[in-house]
Amino acid sequence: MLTFTNRTALVTGAGRGIGKAIAENLARHGVTVICVSKSAESCGSTAAAIVAAGGKAKAMAVDVADGSGVAKAAEALLAEFPAIDILVNNAGITKDGLLFRMSEADWNDVLSTNLTSCFHWTKHLARPMTRARWGRIVNITSVSGIMGNAGQANYSAAKAGMIGLTKTLAREFAGRSVTVNAVAPGFIKTDMTAEFVNNPEVSAKILEVVPLKRFGEAADIAHMTAFLCSEEANYITGQVFAVDGGMAM
Ligand code: NAP
C-alpha cells in the first residue's frame, strides 16, 4: 500500500478510460478525488462508483479547453476543499489526419484540450500547493509525444508540449516540494483506441512495434500515477515514465 496522508486529488478526464482508473485507484488509497470530465454524466458515474465502494469523491463537469471555465471551477473548489494536493492532467482527445489534410480547427482543439488545459489547471491549483510546500502534479502525455506518430501532428505536438511543461514546472516548483512528472502511455485499451484495438488487422500491425506484444490496461497507467502521487515518490521530479510495453525504449 502506498502512503497518502489525508490528500485530495483532482483528476481530469476521470469519466472514462485511464482517468477513471486513476481516480478509482487513488480513492482506494484513501485519497478524496474530484472527478472532472466534459459531461456531468460521465464524471458523475465515476464519483458514484467511488462512493459506492466506500471512497470519497465529488464530480464536476468542466470543459478543460475553456480557460475561464477552468478558472471558475478551480476557484469554487479551492473555496470548498481545505487543499487540493494532487493534480492529474489526464483529459485528452485525438483528431487525427495527415498534416496536409489537418484543419486549423482540429489543430487548435487538440492543443487546447490536451496542452493548454494543463497550463490553466496548474496555474490555478499549483499556487496553494507551493504555499503548503507539498504537491504532486502528474501529466498524462503519450509515446506519440516522445516518438512522433504519422497522422498525429496536433496530438504529438500537444503531448511533446506537456513534456516540456512538466520539466519546466518541475524546476520552478522544486524548491517548494511540489513534484511534476509525466506518464507516457503506449496503446491502452480505452474508448480512444477501441477502433484500432477491435480491428484485427490494425491491431496486429500495432503489436509488431510493442515488444510485450499486447495492449495495456488503464490500470497499468493508474498504478504508475498513484506511485508518483504518493509519499514514496518524494525524490522524483521532472521525469517522463513510459508505460508502453517497451515501445519507446
Ligand atoms: P478516453 O477513454 O477517450 O477518455 C477521455 C476522457 O477525457 C473522458 O472522460 C472525457 O470526458 C475527457 N475529456 C475529453 N475532452 C475533454 C474536455 N474538453 N473537457 C473535460 N474532459 C474532457 O481517453 P483515454 O484513452 O482514457 O485517454 C486519457 C489520456 O491518456 C488522454 O490524455 C490521452 O491522450 C492519453 N493517452 C491515451 C492512450 C491510449 O492508448 N488510450 C495512449 C497515450 C496517451 P467525457 O467522459 O465527459 O467525454
- CA of 92 relative to ligand 1 center, distance in Å: 4
pLDDT in tens, 167-182: 999 999 999 999 999 9
In which band, very low, low, confident or very high, does the pLDDT at 224 lie, cut at 50, 70 and 90? very high
190 lines ligand 1 (CB under 6 A): yes
In which band, very low, low, confident or very high, does the pLDDT at 83 lie, cut at 50, 70 and 90? very high
Q: Confirm whether 235 is a catalytic residue.
A: no
Catalytic site residue from 134, 155, 173, 241: 155
What's residue 239's pLDDT?
99
In which band, very low, low, confident or very high, does the pLDDT at 132 lie, cut at 50, 70 and 90? very high
Residue 244 CA: distances (Å) to CA of 35, 77, 156: 25, 33, 16
In which band, very low, low, confident or very high, does the pLDDT at 222 lie, cut at 50, 70 and 90? very high
In which band, very low, low, confident or very high, does the pLDDT at 98 lie, cut at 50, 70 and 90? very high
What number of residues does the chain have?
Answer: 249
Distance CA 226, CA 218 (A): 12
CATH of 8-243, one of 3.40.50.720, 3.40.50.2020, 1.25.40.10, 3.40.980.10: 3.40.50.720
The burial of 222, by beta-carbon neighbours within 10 Å (0-12 exposed, 13-18 middle, 19 or more buried), is given as: buried
What's residue 29's pLDDT?
98
What's residue 36's pLDDT?
99
What's residue 181's pLDDT?
99
Cell 525504449 -> residue: 249
Mean pLDDT on 73-92: 98
DSSP 8-class letter at 244: S
Distance CA 193, CA 191 (A): 6
Q: List all residues 6 or more positions away from 82 whose beta carbon is below 8 Å from its beta carbon.
A: 8
Domain boundaries, the chain: 8-243
Mean pLDDT of the chain: 98
Q: Which residues of 15-40 are buried (b: 16+ CB within 10 A; e: fewer)?
A: bbbbbbbbbbbbbbbebbbbbbbbee
What's residue 55's pLDDT?
98
The closest-lying atom of ligand 1 relative to the alpha carbon of residue 185 is: 43
What's residue 209's pLDDT?
97
pLDDT in tens, 11-58: 999 999 999 999 999 999 999 999 999 999 999 999 999 999 999 999
63 lines ligand 1 (CB under 6 A): yes
The closest-lying atom of ligand 1 relative to the alpha carbon of residue 144 is: 43
- For 24-91, the three-class secondary structure string (H helix, E strand, C coil) is HHHHHCCCEEEEEECCHHHHHHHHHHHHHCCCCEEEEECCCCCHHHHHHHHHHHHHHCCCCCEEEECC
